[in-house]
Amino acid sequence: MKLKTLTIFLAGLIVSTQVAAWPWSTDMMNQPSIKPQEGPPAAFPKRSIPTIGIPTKVANRQEAEKLKNPIKPTAESIKQGRKLFRIICAACHGLSGKADSPVSPKIGAIDLTSDYVQQTLAEGWIWGTITFGSAIMPAYGVPNEQGGSNDLSPEERWHVVNYVRKQLVRDSAGMASAN
């Protein structure tokens, strides 16, 4: 009796493994969808892979200095700039902008709340610094193949400028009193 059960079980096992090899077992695979490496690659969604980067119309910081800030420092722009500042700039210049991050003294990052940045520098120059980098500071608006990271679109760079010039000093004062 036991042997018979085992035989039925084994027979069932053999049949079920063979079933997997029958032609209709692959029916689900053979459908009109596009298979890997098949056909021309689909276009990537906009800005998903910045292979060539966002073209910047000015060639360097000197040219950028003359640019007029095209983005009004609205609450929305400053909010965006603040977010980006905290993601990108704060690592070197500190959350407060006062060059108080652990790496600031090691690389010579400057205080962005200083009169030099708040008054002497033109907004276009600050935008140009973010775009093309500076002596040590990396470029955030230049394609990878030209040595930049291209992390910020031209508009985003203006948002950061708006934040640095209109709100950073105030935020920074708030942080000092919180300590």
The site for ligand HEC (CB under 6 A) is made up of 88-89, 91-93, 107-110, 112, 117, 126, 129-130, 134-138, 140, 160, 164
Residue among 7 and 60 whose Cβ is closer to ligand HEC: 60
Indicate the DSSP class of residue 26.
Answer: G
Quote the least distance from Cβ 143 to ligand HEC, whole Å.
17
Quote the least distance from Cβ 173 to ligand HEC, whole Å.
18
Quote the least distance from Cβ 51 to ligand HEC, whole Å.
22
Quote the least distance from Cβ 127 to ligand HEC, whole Å.
9
Which residues, 6+ apart, have CB-to-CB distance to 155 below 8 Å?
Answer: 71
Residue among 24 and 134 whose Cβ is closer to ligand HEC: 134
* Contact criterion met (CB below 8 Å) for 99 and 93: yes
Q: Which two tokens stand for residue 80?
A: 């965006």
Residue at token pair 């959350």: 95
The helix or strand, by DSSP H or E, that contains position 159, with its residue range, turns out to be helix 154-166
